[in-house]
Each structure stands twice: as C-alpha cells, then as structure tokens.
Structure 1
C-alpha cells in the first residue's frame, strides 16, 4: 500500500522575491492597465490576477481590448493592490492607505481591506480622521466609523479646524452632530457647521441654507445663552443657515424654562458644553 504523500515547503523568501520581480514588469505580461488621472501604464499577468481576485477574473473574462482603463484608482494605490496580489504582502503609507482601502473594498479583497484597516487604526490622527470617517461611511465600514467617531469625540476642537472636516459629506457629518460625547461647546459647533456649509455651497454652487439643511437640525440651540441666541439670530438674518422655526423652538425653551418644550437631544448637553445659568432648567448633567 502506498504511503500518503507529504507536502514539503521550500524557502518562502526566494519565491516571494521572484513574484515581486514580476510586478509591473512587461516581461511575459499579457495585459496592460492605464490607471489614475496620471494615466500611468501598469503591466500585469492575467492568470495571476484571475486566480487571486474575482473582480479581475470577471474583468478579464470580458475580453476587452488592452489596455484596460481604470481612471478612478490612483496609480500608487493600484500598484499596492498589485503588490498584494503578487506577493500577499503590501507596504502601506499614511498618505495613500485610504486609497488602497477604497480599492480593496471595490475589488472585493477582504484580506487587503483588513490590513488597511489595521494600519489606519495605528496611525489615526487629527488630520486623517475625517477622511477616514468619510471612507467608512461611504463603504459601510462600521468598526472604522466607530473608531473615527470615538477619536473625534476626544479631539473635537482640533478636528473641527481641519480641512478634512470641511470636506465631509452630510451623511458623514450627521453622526458627529448627534454625539453627546463631543468635547466642544455648542457655539463652536454652530460656527463649524456654518464654515462647513459655506465650503459646500461654494463647491456645489448652492445656497448655504440648502447645503446645511440635512445637518443643522442636530445643533442644540437651546444650550446657548439668550445673548448668544440673539447674536445667532441676527447673523442668521444676514446669512441664512438655520430654519427660523428651529430658533423659535430654542427661544420657547428659554421663555418657559421647561425641558418638555424642546424634548430629546436638543436640550441634552454634550461632554464639552460650557455651563450656562439656564441649563439647570433643562436636563440632568452629562454623564
């Protein structure tokens, strides 16, 4: 009776080095890509891509003529994907990891996606967190979204001053404005929301109030003192941002001094809310 065979493993390093030498190498390549706005040419090998990634298997099965144009993925991110497919390793960089993560999600490369998420978790900082949050919201990456939100809650003032904050989409901004744990006062949040809406209005060529409409309902105007609310009302006349009825609701809360006139989160203090005399008529202190 023949004895069962035994798998013997050779040295991994020379094998990996040999495959790495084929990345973007025209030698024996049988497919070309033109990637990114740079329109950089990248050489690859159909059989390897097809066996490693279902996305490329389907793409290459269509027999579309070479080169294949992939204009939405930057060249650096695409080459990182190629590195992973050829060697099962990838060198990630802070400035491009979110683009690699985006490509990994779009191409269905779960292992690469997890490597990117692990790397982002290690390098998350004030300048990167809003961009990471946007990617998380766009692709439904719940754990990354939660991690970004927790970071922003602890570094609220610094994050509100970043360009990344101003470039958030409304769906990405909403979870922030709904949080009780932001370490920032409501006055600063109102100013940040106005700056965000101005940038969006300029980019989209739409009125500030229209751009702000999906998010301003989450501002807790009842937390502002009467003088602050009056100043906001005056500025709102000059540059409409907040619906008039929302300001009226805040004034009613001041006039009646009863929390049931502005129920729910609109009276609830955040972690960074500065104390004001009228707060004793609202809810319990933040816990």
Structure 2
C-alpha cells in the first residue's frame, strides 16, 4: 500500500499481457489440467491465476484432500468445446480474448456460467459489431439445439423468441422452451409455469394446426407450461378464422415456420 511520499507507477501493460499469454495452455510450471470436450483435449493451467481471477475456479480448485477428485485434476469438462474453453482461459490470463463468429455465442454462455462479467461484455460487443442479422438468426437456430440454449435466462430467451427471422418452426420452439423450462425449474427450484412465464408469452401458438394444438394441450396437462388462456386464444383464432384478440406479432409466421392451411386467415393481422 502506497504511503506518504510514495507513488504507484505503471509499467508496460502490453508487455505484461504478452508475457502472461505465453503461459496459456503451457504445461511448463502448470499445476492443474483439464480434459475438455468430446475430443478430450488436455488444457494446462496455473491454479493461482485461475483462483484469483474467477470465483468458480477458486471453488473448484479448493477441494479438500478427502475429495474424490485430486486437487491437481484432471478436471473433466465434457460439455464445452476446447476452443471455447481456451478463449475463457485466455481472458483470465490476459484480460483479452480472441473471438470469431463460430464460438462467440458459446463463449458468451461460458462467461455467464463462470461469472465473468467483463468477458460477457466483450462477447456482446463482438456479436453486436460483427454479426449480420442473417448470421445471428442462423446462430440462434443452432443454439436451440445446444446445451447453451437451456442455460439462457428467461429475459434473453424471450428476446430470442421475438425474432421473425428464426429459421425454426413454432412446434420445435414450443418443445425447446418446454425443455428449457424443466431445466430452469430444477436449477432454480421454482415451478415450471413461473420460470417460463416470460418466454411463453412469445410463443406463436395461433400458427399451430388444430391437431398440433390438441397434442400441445395434452402435454400441457402434465406441466402447465402454457397458460390455459393462451391456448384458448389460439383456438379462438382458428374458430373465428382470424387473429382476433391475439397480439399481431403472435400471428406472424417466422422465417422457418412451416406452412399450415389456416395461415392465410392470419395474414391480414400480421401486417
């Protein structure tokens, strides 16, 4: 701590960062190892760096000697791509990250998982600055099929579901939201209808065919994912052959919506 008559002077930050970068995934002097992804790629690190930069790693590396996992690892991380994990490690060592459009969304998900707010901001900025609307929609289409989709917050998921450009059919989105809701319910220890309230409002149920609504009602009896009034509004749109009483955005087909016969009755209300 600086006292009277003293000063803290800053050296070359770039040189310091470059020196630390040489330690990224460097087995020399490392004292912890991770086995990452289906490829089982080995990633070497230094526990003092990880622990001082990330509380999640601090907890992981502070296991007592009675643990079944030795403190030095290897720690198995099977659900993350090596390139994504290495991007997180790079940030922890250098406070910077190398991103590309193929891993940006997954690095963003990992940054949330590890509680790295600064990394999260860098990922958001990269996505905002570099991805076109088409690329974002293609990425979102892929994310629906990944573990990362189930880890989205309700606010983020609702924003995703507002997009007209999603190249995913509504029936698939309903199923994806149901799976997301059950995972979130278990993690948050809250009822399915409660955790899913915000995203469910963005599901475009009037786009579904009558037979699909019947199946939806059957599944809904088991978890009450969707409010009864939302399903009733979809049935009313069918009965009246128009989107009366339903917000216009919920009658608007997405880019990936498969055509149904009744869609032509909804078109005037989608303008």
TM-score (norm 2): 0.62
Question: Cα gap change, 1:40/1:235 in structure 2, threshold over 3 Å: closer, same or farther?
Answer: same
Cα deviation digits, residues 33-54 of structure 1 (max 9, x gap): xxxxx99235xxxxxxxxxxxx
Structure 1 residue 244: deviation in Å?
1.0
CA contact (8 A) 1:130 1:148 kept: no
Mapped partners of 1:193, 1:273: distance in 2? 16
1:227 partnered with 2:211: yes
CA contact (8 A) 1:212 1:241 kept: yes
Mapped partners of 2:174, 2:48: distance in 1? 47
Mapped partners of 2:200, 2:102: distance in 1? 31
* 2:100 aligned to which of 121, 128, 131: 121
CA contact (8 A) 1:149 1:176 kept: no
Mapped partners of 1:251, 1:181: distance in 2? 25
1:276 partnered with 2:260: yes
1:40 partnered with 2:47: yes
* 1:72 aligned to which of 30, 52, 55: 55
Aligned length: 206
CA contact (8 A) 1:153 1:181 kept: yes
Mapped partners of 2:89, 2:191: distance in 1? 31
Structure 1 residue 121: deviation in Å?
2.5
What secondary structure, in the 3-state scheme, does the structure 1 residue paired with 2:84 have?
coil
Mapped partners of 1:149, 1:136: distance in 2? 24
What secondary structure, in the 3-state scheme, does the structure 2 residue paired with 1:120 have?
coil
Give the equivalent residue in structure 2 for 1:256. Answer: 240
CA contact (8 A) 1:133 1:172 kept: no
RMSD in angstroms over aligned alpha carbons? 4.1
Question: Cα gap change, 1:223/1:101 in structure 2, threshold over 3 Å: closer, same or farther?
Answer: farther
Structure 1 residue 221: deviation in Å?
0.2
Segments of 5+ residues of structure 1 without an aligned counterpart are 1-14, 25-37, 43-67, 76-91
Structure 1 residue 262: deviation in Å?
1.6
Q: State the structure with more CA Rg.
A: 1
Segments of 5+ residues of structure 2 without an aligned counterpart are 1-13, 24-44, 59-81
TM-score (norm 1): 0.59
